[in-house]
Amino acid sequence: MPTLTIALAALRERLSEPTAAAWTDAELTRYLNEGVREIAIRTECLATTTDVNVLIGVYRIAVPANVNRIHRAEWSSGAVTSTSAIYPLRYTQINNLDNVRGSGQQTQTGTPEMYSTWGYPGTSTFNVIVFPKPQTAGVLRIHYYRIPVDAVAGADLLDVPNGWEHLVYDYAEFRARLKDGDDAWQVAKSEFEGRLDLFKAQFARLTDENDSIGVDSFYAGNYIDDFFGW
């Protein structure tokens, strides 16, 4: 990952403007950060995991502000240690969750088995809702795709995977040329979109191995019930 200083120099080289004239450093920095966010949101390349401590009885849980989309959620009763039992939570939409909990969202307690979400990512409204209501304090572990951190100082790194920086330059170049009325913006945008689609397809699965063939015990019961109409 290049620093902001290196990224600005590389972008100015593309624009044939080694020193500021048509574009200020602040303007190009804004385009670079826009490009980083565009890439992260559209490819979901910034996968991470965090643990959220949950008090007993709390079933609406605030998650970090940099959560863009949740991939998986797990529950541990008590602090997570090397001997903790980790329970994978099954996702369901909030209205479908009512088919299970009915009016018992605040009265049914136990070890959480399901989760839903409500609110908008990046705001204090975004919550994970677990069911049943935790009967003990515990830890909600979420695997999610995060929003990148903006580069501000010259030593800050562009928040993209190693080897992806040329996508950021493509985006920033297209935005700069578009602002300048240069028709070459179309070439830069085309290269950006083409590379982005290629990287999204190639790196959505970070192995070239096939999945193992077998029955997922967590979902086996529901699959069999659905198949036979039970």
The pLDDT tens digits for 18-61 are 888 889 999 999 999 999 999 999 999 999 999 999 999 999 99
| Residue 72 CB neighbour total at 10 angstroms | 13
* In-domain check, residue 220: no
Q: State whether residue 122 is helix, strand or coil.
A: coil
Asked if 118 and 68 sit in the same domain, the reply is: yes
Buried b (16+ CB within 10 A) or exposed e, 130-142: bbbbbeeebbbbb
* In-domain check, residue 212: no
Q: State whether residue 193 is helix, strand or coil.
A: helix
pLDDT digits (tens, 9 = 90+) for 190-226: 989 898 888 887 776 767 777 766 655 555 555 445 5
Query: HSE (CB half, 13 Å, CA atoms) of 118?
Result: 9
* In-domain check, residue 217: no
* In-domain check, residue 208: no
Domain that holds residue 92: 47-147
Asked if 134 and 167 sit in the same domain, the reply is: no
Asked if 112 and 59 sit in the same domain, the reply is: yes
The separation between the first and the last C-alpha atoms of the chain, rounded to the nearest angstrom, is 53
Q: pTM, whole model, 2 decimals?
A: 0.82
* In-domain check, residue 73: yes
Nearest by Cα to 31 from 150, 202, 200, 122:
150
Q: Which of 147, 162, 188 is the endpoint of a domain? A: 147
Please tell me the total count of domains within the chain. Answer: 2
